[in-house]
Amino acid sequence: MVTYIFDGSLEGLLTAVFEFYERKPGSIKLVSQTHFEPVFLEETLEIINDETKAKRVWAGLSKKISPEWKSRFYKSYLSESADIFQHLFDFACYIFDNPKGAEDNFGHPSVIALSKMDKSVNREKHRMKAFIRFQETGDGIFYAPIEPDYNVLPLIASFFKNRYADQKWIIYDLKRKYGLFYDLEKVEEIIFDYVPEVKKSSVHLPSDVLNDKEELYALLWNDYFRSTNIPARKNMKLHIQHVPKRYWKYLTEKQS
Amino acid sequence: MSDRIREKLNILADAAKYDVSCSSSGSNRKNDKKGLGDASASGICHTYTEDGRCVSLLKILLTNHCIFDCAFCVSRKSNDVKRAAFTVEEVVELTMSFYRRNYIEGLFLSSGIFKNADYTMERLVRIAKKLRLENNFNGYIHLKTIPGASQELLTEAGLYADRMSINLEMPTEAGLKLLAPDKSHDDVKKPLSFIKDSIIQFKDEKKIIRSTPKFVPAGQSTQMVIGATPETDMEIMYSANEYYKNYDLKRVYYSGYIPISYDTRMPMIGSQPPLLRENRLYQTDWLMRFYGFDVHEILNVKNPHLDVDIDPKLSWALRNMEQFPIDINTADYKMILRVPGIGVGSANKIVQARKFGKLRSDQLKKIGISYNRAKYFIRCADSVFQLNAPEAFKIKNLILSESSSKYLKVPQNQLTLF
């Protein structure tokens, strides 16, 4: 079996599908460079990204599956998980090799894998909408650092743009080292090169760069969080299930 | 200054927490004119308290001063608690600044009744109006309908609120009379039906005149307190069913009574809130709303109470074994939905997937059904022929022995001897 190695991008993945149909090698294994471990006597093919080929594959998929499934495909891709790359590849081939409507076959391993991964990515996207906490800086920018399990920033940009249309904000993915900046007009991708007063790894901004009222609101929110709890119903298991511990360091109400 | 606002928030959030609704779903309000806020149709829980309940809205009372003396209520006139009241500006500022930091989806504003119904309702409306018109706030607003408030005020409230609610308090009229002699369910029915009719009227007008404003776009809800008075589960759910049907409610909430008073008519302070019972009632509510069950199938004179050890869907299936097993590959969608261990999502996937070939048990497991539970009620492509089907009580024991219910363990307030 041939192993196709691609660069981890969506364009690379789609190019791989194109190459597969051009070469018809039987069956292949698809891995990204970061996950690739060379094995003795293994036949490999390095995929060279090709925008035209990728676009043709995407257009081909678009003809056969609904916009809803295209979005599932894209969202599954954003999970960046090693297993899902192979499933995305297999799914694309399954769609091309079968008549229209094949994506409804939840008995097929790749269809169900995409469907499940889409659900996980959606959950993470939803969590970011819920768990992002802005802190207002002295110059009026609302800043929120996050570390999502999946690369969901592209999926939440329009949500935050519509919601916080009258305030400048930054959402920064500390894990993937890029962020979104809204300047009251449009959302742009940004990368922090060197920020002297903000340590790139730290979650909460030092108090000297914060707006005067920021600490009061954080305190009031903490108070509210405690007052609205009913101790007679305490259920920490359920609490942790809904608010997994890995998110606690970003949550204002979980400090102190 | 900051100490006073902190104290007020603590008192008035504490007094509001017994209203369990925190839903922020169902609205379609959009951010216009570059203001603040945009409704999320599915609602968002921004955090969860340590009791595991969703925190979606800033849920506060405008004041906990109240002229009524309802035995089940923590803000009753005769209760010796600290009293406080927010100003209109304070509520607006808290809502805006919490929303800007993505702490909340919006505001849930309720209040004790001070002076009279109209006076109280007018204050609630004033806050919602200020948020919408002066602060261009498009987040979620849930307003409490104050029983006895004028129709003019209710109509105005509906123009600014996304959801309105008014609580039945006790599931039956008799229960309510026992604990709050001044109140009656009629006080609840009148505004519920007035707002329901107004929602329909506004929707009809919208079809003709596009600029017709939104009116309570996320609908109405209500709440009943469970376990303070001796109603059966049947009485509770029949009452809920009636309100769903007659008033087109979005939700009925069931709130297990948390003892807050030494009143001898109710459970004493320190007794455990009926969490399991509450859970079973919600399961029944879901079966009615999403699984096509009629409430009479689940609760009736022969079965006036829900089982404690198993959920109502399993309980129904075991009482109706003559309808099982069903063949996953041929059965009607409605019947697949009735199988214990199969939810709405899986049922949909099964119906789509079986067009491509007969489904086997390994595929069903991957689709995500709870196979260990469902297997007693279904047949699929690789099911082995069974000569005599096991009896209901045997199935129940098999399922119980495999599962570990979070409720069957020793309650926290009970001492273990060994």
Domain boundary among B220, B247, B271: B220
Q: Do B100 and A129 count as a contact with CB atoms less than 8 A apart?
A: no
Q: Is A74 on the interface with B (CB under 8 A)?
A: no
Window 242-271 of B: residues touching A by CB (8 A cutoff) are: 256, 258-259
CB pairs below 8 Å between A and B: how many? 165
Window 27-46 of B: residues touching A by CB (8 A cutoff) are: 30-31, 34-38, 40, 42, 44-46
B214 and B340, same domain (yes or no): no
Q: With contacts defined as CB-CB under 8 Å, which chain A residues touch B55?
A: 225, 228
Q: Which tens digit of pLDDT belongs to each residue from B369-402?
A: 999 999 999 999 998 877 677 888 999 999 998 8
B51 and B159, same domain (yes or no): yes
Helical H segments across A24-175, by residue range:
51-64, 67-78, 82-97, 109-131, 153-163
Residue B340 has a pLDDT of 97
Going from the C-alpha of A196 to that of each of A101, A203, B245, the distances in angstroms are 55, 15, 62
Q: Do A106 and B352 count as a contact with CB atoms less than 8 A apart?
A: yes
Q: Do A234 and B50 count as a contact with CB atoms less than 8 A apart?
A: yes
- Asked whether residue B396 is domain-assigned, the answer is yes
| φ and ψ at residue B329, rounded to 5 degrees | -85, -10
Q: 3-class SS at A32?
A: strand
Going from the C-alpha of B379 to that of each of B145, B324, B386, the distances in angstroms are 51, 9, 10
For tokens 């879901």, the residue is: B286
Q: Which residue does chain B place closest to A123, by CA atoms? A: B44
Instruction: Name the average pLDDT for chain A.
Output: 92
pLDDT at B222 over 60: yes
Domain count, chain B: 2
B17 and B150, same domain (yes or no): yes
Average pLDDT over residues A101-115: 95
Q: Do A133 and B272 count as a contact with CB atoms less than 8 A apart?
A: no
Q: Which residue does chain B place closest to A237, by CA atoms? A: B52
Q: Do A219 and B2 count as a contact with CB atoms less than 8 A apart?
A: yes
- Asked whether residue B265 is domain-assigned, the answer is no
Q: Do A105 and B353 count as a contact with CB atoms less than 8 A apart?
A: yes
Task: Check: CB of residue B251 under 8 Å from CB of residue B282.
Answer: no
CATH number at residue B172: 3.20.20
Q: Which tens digit of pLDDT belongs to each residue from B236-249?
A: 999 999 999 999 99
Q: Which tens digit of pLDDT belongs to each residue from A49-106?
A: 999 999 999 999 999 999 999 999 999 999 999 899 999 999 999 999 999 999 999 9
Instruction: Name the average pLDDT for chain B.
Output: 92
Task: Check: CB of residue A132 under 8 Å from CB of residue A164.
Answer: no
d(CA A121, CA A148): 10
Nearest Cβ partner for A134 among B49, B50, B100: B100
Q: With contacts defined as CB-CB under 8 Å, which chain B residues touch A167?
A: 36, 100
SS3 letters for chain B? Answer: CHHHHHHHHHHHHHHHCCCCCCCCCCCCCCCCCCCECCCCCCCCCCEECCCCCEECEEEEECECCCCCCCCCCCCCCCCCCCCCECCHHHHHHHHHHHHHCCCCCEEEEECCCCCCHHHHHHHHHHHHHHHHHHCCECCEEEEECCCCCCHHHHHHHHHHCCEEECCCECCCHHHHHHHCCCCCHHHHHHHHHHHHHHHHHHHHHHHHCCCCCCCCCCCEEEEEEECCCCCCHHHHHHHHHHHHHHHCCCEEEEEECCCCCCCCCCCCCCCCCCHHHHHHHHHHHHHHHHCCCCHHHHCECCECCCCCCCCHHHHHHHHCHHHCCEECCCCCHHHHCCCCCCCHHHHHHHHHHHHHCCCCHHHHHHHCCCHHHHCCCEECCCCCCCCCCCCHHHHHHHHHHHCCCCCCCCCCCCCCCC
- Asked whether residue B266 is domain-assigned, the answer is no
**Domain residue limits at B347:** 312-402
Q: What value, to the nearest 5°, has the Cα angle with vertex B353 and ends B350 and B359? A: 75
Domain boundaries, chain A: 2-124, 132-254
Residue B409 has a pLDDT of 53
pLDDT band of B414, cuts 50, 70, 90? very low
Q: Which tens digit of pLDDT belongs to each residue from B60-80?
A: 999 999 999 999 999 999 999
Task: Check: CB of residue B218 under 8 Å from CB of residue B163.
Answer: yes
Nearest Cβ partner for A233 among B40, B275, B350: B275
pLDDT at B413 over 50: no
Q: Which residue does chain A place closest to B136, by CA atoms? A: A166
Q: Is A128 on the interface with B (CB under 8 A)?
A: no
d(CA B65, CA B75): 7
Q: 3-class SS at A182?
A: strand
Which H or E element spans position A236?
helix A236-242
B72 and B208, same domain (yes or no): yes
Residue A193 has a pLDDT of 77
CA B84 to chain centre: 28
- Asked whether residue B261 is domain-assigned, the answer is no
Q: With contacts defined as CB-CB under 8 Å, which chain A residues touch B54?
A: 242
B29 and B149, same domain (yes or no): yes
d(CA B117, CA B125): 12
Q: Predicted ipTM?
A: 0.92
Q: Which of B291, B347, B345 lies closest to B314, judged by CA?
A: B291
Q: Is A216 on the interface with B (CB under 8 A)?
A: yes
Residues of chain B above pLDDT 70, percent: 96
pLDDT at B22 over 90: no
What is the distance in angstroms between the Cα of B307 and the nearest Cα belonging to chain A?
22
pLDDT at B179 over 70: yes
Q: Which of B315, B316, B311 lies closest to B408, judged by CA?
A: B311
Q: Which tens digit of pLDDT belongs to each residue from B320-369?
A: 999 999 999 999 999 999 999 999 999 999 999 999 999 999 999 999 99
Q: With contacts defined as CB-CB under 8 Å, which chain A residues touch B9?
A: 220, 223-224, 227
Q: Which residues contact A59 (CB under 8 A, 6 or more apart)?
A: none
Find which of A217, A228, A255, A256 to mutate to test the B interface (most B CBs within 10 Å of its CB): A228
Residue A194 has a pLDDT of 63
Q: Is A231 on the interface with B (CB under 8 A)?
A: yes
- Beta strand B251-256 with B326-327: parallel, antiparallel or unpaired? unpaired
Q: Which tens digit of pLDDT belongs to each residue from A174-214?
A: 999 999 999 999 999 999 876 655 555 567 788 888 988 99
Average pLDDT over residues B260-269: 86
Q: 3-class SS at A145?
A: strand
- Asked whether residue B416 is domain-assigned, the answer is no
Tokens found for residue B304: 């006036």
Q: With contacts defined as CB-CB under 8 Å, which chain B residues touch A213?
A: 97
| Edge-to-edge strands, sheet with B106-110 | B57-61, B106-110, B140-144, B163-165, B220-226, B251-256
Q: Which residue does chain B place closest to A127, by CA atoms? A: B46
Q: Which tens digit of pLDDT belongs to each residue from B304-324?
A: 999 999 999 999 999 999 999
Tokens found for residue A26: 């039987």
pLDDT band of B284, cuts 50, 70, 90? very high
d(CA B334, CA B332): 5
Q: Which residue does chain A place closest to B10, by CA atoms? A: A227
- Asked whether residue B153 is domain-assigned, the answer is yes
Domain boundary among B189, B220, B251: B220
Q: Do A133 and B353 count as a contact with CB atoms less than 8 A apart?
A: no
Q: Is A243 on the interface with B (CB under 8 A)?
A: yes
B139 and B18, same domain (yes or no): yes
Q: Which of A189, A227, A172, A151 lies closest to B7, judged by CA?
A: A227
B214 and B327, same domain (yes or no): no
Q: Which tens digit of pLDDT belongs to each residue from A70-80?
A: 999 999 999 99
Domain boundary among B185, B220, B255: B220
Residue B15, number of CB atoms within 10 A of its CB:
25
Q: Which tens digit of pLDDT belongs to each residue from B80-129?
A: 999 999 999 999 999 999 999 999 999 999 999 999 999 999 999 999 99
Residue B200, number of CB atoms within 10 A of its CB:
12
B21 and B159, same domain (yes or no): yes
Q: With contacts defined as CB-CB under 8 Å, which chain B residues touch A95?
A: none
